[in-house]
Chains A and B, each alone.
Chain A
Amino acid sequence: MKIFKLPDLGEGLQEAEIVKWLVKVGDDVKADTPMVSVETAKAVVDIPAPFAGKIAKLYGNPGDIAHLGAPLVAFEGESDTPDTGTVVGKVEVGQKVVSEAPAGPAPLTGGIKTTPAVRALARKLNVDLTMVTPTGSDGLITGSDVQRAARILSEIGPIEVMRGVRRVMAQNMELATAEVASATIMDDADIDAWPKGAATVLRLIRALVAGCRAEPALNAWYDSEKIGRWVMKKIDIGIAVDTPDGLLVPVLRNCGERGIDDLKNALEKLVADARVRKVPPEELRANTITLSNYGSIAGRYASPVVLPPTVAILGAGRIAKQVVVVDDKPAVRRMLPLSLTFDHRAVTGGEAGRFLKAVIADLQRPQ
């Protein structure tokens, strides 16, 4: 049953005398229908039905006192007083539904092991903890380790941070080493037949073109993620140039289809521009193969670094007279040492060998 209690009649009145019932048990009443006349100390008032419903019971007879808060009329139906769910305070009801995702344990991260006091010391002495070799048990960096590192650092002076061209070289070589499966084959070209004053680099360029023609696999780009390659039609040779700022590799485009004089002029301009840093950025990228003529300074054989996405680099060493065997007899010949490093993910030994053979064959032609 829904119980309706005598409501607050105002002015602090706690009671009222029932004068007359205006409804009876079983009546269907609308909201606000007067149900009972009561007399307070002040006046006779009619109390209206608080809602529509069927009268189930009347509490009290005319002449009885009705009290504030005491049951007055019962209506049929279920009580709709909301359950507070507590007898003290107020328990908030929320509508949010949460679901917990099952979480596994967080992985243990490795890292530097040391105490906060030692960390504070490292900060104070400006020591990078990653540079410190721990001597404590279980890899613990001790205070004396930090002191030692600080001493060393004070002796060697501050670090010179690489910038510009040197920085780019450092980053590129790091990338290359991480990725490339490099293999190197070395051989010599007998260039004794060359005329005096022959332009080495130009001959090397032409030889490279010959090599690419013989084995196009070395004039390609490789994508390690897709495990795929683009064998390039155009031969764009990156020429390693040593400049005051560091190593630059400007690109001589389309070497396979340009005439020798065109190449010669282009090469001269390229090198001159490189030396004064006038090569535009787009001409420093997207080469398909690289040439390094380190021999112009010193060094015979090398294993130069293949820069992705290219798959080959030809290194040319110092031309020198060597004693070689010709027709079973010792002879003095001008020899050009060659080192071909290739990315073995994209190039086979056979391809590299045939490439080098073609390069040597072209170089050994007198003109």
Chain B
Amino acid sequence: MAQITLVEAINLALKHEMERDASVVVLGQDVGVDGGVFRATLGLASRFGPERVIDTPLAESLIAGMAIGMAVEGLKPVAEIQFSGFAYTVIDQILNHAGRMRHRTRGRLSCPMVLRTPCGAGIHAPEHHSESPEAMFAHIPGIRVVYPSSPRRAYGLLLAAMRDPDPVVFLEPTRLYRLFKEEVADDGQAMSLDACHTAREGTDITLVTWGPMVQTTLAAAADLAEQGIAAEVLDVATLKPLDMDSILASVARTGRCVIASEEPRTASFAAEVAANLAEDGLLTLLAPVRRVTAYDTVVPYSRLEHQYMPGKDVIVTAAKKVLAFA
């Protein structure tokens, strides 16, 4: 079993599945010869050939649209949108076509495709490269939205996404791509979709998070532990469909909740979780639910990046406010 980074885990999952299933193809800009700008598809073209690892023209709508056509025709395409800022272009294809294909043909046609894109700030990138678009994708009917937080989970969830009969938007936490390693067995085992993962057990407060913020939240939980506060950290992992039952069960035990994400605050996915807690978990709450998010500003250029991204201290402060409530 190797110790690998998150982006290597993605590469491993792609390699495994392309080996196992000849209908899996990878397409996107620079995914073939160059192995992807983040090297997520490194080595796939030489192993599986340019017909299955396709360097596309510079055309995001085409990439998503082709994936749709391929999937309907029986291939299992894994399309890459190079950077999060360019993912917005494909909302049209995903919302109007991928998410609807099965529904509007009454199941006659379906669209088993995966669309991957690196998301989140923190890598000192140019403008438009640091977006957190999860709420926009989660708003789309008929698809799944998955956001892994560790190498092992990236491997297992990507396998599951590739095997899912419905479209999956697979958001990848860019700043975690190489931040740490984990032992990942290349056993081809898919992890369950549609389920939260408990990243840390605790009794005093539930911290709900996903994607790059999972690491930040775990760091906050460690700080809280030093202060005698046992925080439970839930990694949502599949944002859509959302496993609210796990979150409600945790909050029923702790009575307190902080949701941490890197999105702009208004109409964030964090707001969706908070609304569900208000609707179904109100009587278990001992304090208001707080969201820790980024500001409702444009994602600033890299100089101010770390002011924009919520750090562990903000999470700790929010958690303590919630604990002090009453």
Interface residues of A (CB under 8 A from B): 115-117, 120, 136-137, 140, 142-143
Contact = CB atoms under 8 A, between A and B. Distances in A.
B326 interface: yes
12 contacts: A115-B286, A115-B287, A115-B326, A116-B282, A116-B283, A117-B255, A117-B283, A117-B284, A120-B283, A136-B326, A137-B326, A143-B326
A358 B224 CA distance: 82
A25 B236 CA distance: 77
Contacts of B287: 115
A142 B283 contact: no
A115 B286 CA distance: 7
B20 to A, nearest CB: 46
B326 A140 contact: yes
Contacts of B285: 115-117
Contacts of A120: 283
Nearest to B288: A115
Contacts of B283: 116-117, 120
Interface in B268-308: 282-287
A137 B286 CA distance: 14
Contacts of B326: 115, 136-137, 140, 142-143
A137 B326 CA distance: 8
Interface of B: 255, 282-287, 326
Contacts of A143: 286, 326
Contacts of A117: 255, 282-286
A142 B287 CA distance: 11
A116 B288 CA distance: 10
Q: Chain A's interface: helix, strand, loop or mixed, by majority?
A: helix
A143 B285 CA distance: 12
A140 B325 CA distance: 10
B286 to A, nearest CB: 6
A257 to B, nearest CB: 69
A8 B287 CA distance: 71
A116 B287 CA distance: 10
B288 to A, nearest CB: 8
Nearest to B282: A116
A115 B284 CA distance: 10
A51 to B, nearest CB: 44
Most buried by B among A115, A136, A140, A143: A115
Nearest to B324: A137
Nearest to B286: A117
A117 B326 CA distance: 12
A135 B282 CA distance: 22
Nearest to A120: B283
Closest 5 A-B residue pairs measured CB to CB?
A142-B326, A136-B326, A116-B282, A117-B283, A120-B283
A333 B76 CA distance: 117
B276 to A, nearest CB: 15
Given A115-B286, A143-B286, 15 more contacts: A115-B285, A115-B287, A115-B326, A116-B282, A116-B285, A117-B255, A117-B282, A117-B283, A117-B284, A117-B286, A120-B283, A136-B326, A140-B326, A142-B326, A143-B326
B178 to A, nearest CB: 44
Contacts of A116: 282-283, 285
A69 B33 CA distance: 58
Nearest to A137: B326
B230 to A, nearest CB: 21
A140 B255 CA distance: 17
A142 B255 CA distance: 14
B205 to A, nearest CB: 15
Contacts of A140: 326
Nearest to B255: A117
A121 to B, nearest CB: 9
B287 to A, nearest CB: 8
B173 to A, nearest CB: 35
A367 to B, nearest CB: 74
Contacts of A137: 326
A347 B293 CA distance: 68
B169 to A, nearest CB: 29
Q: Which of A116, A117, A137, A143 has the most CB of B within 10 A?
A: A117
B14 to A, nearest CB: 42
A287 B284 CA distance: 59
Contacts of B284: 117
Contacts of A115: 285-287, 326
A234 to B, nearest CB: 63
A318 to B, nearest CB: 55
A116 B286 CA distance: 9
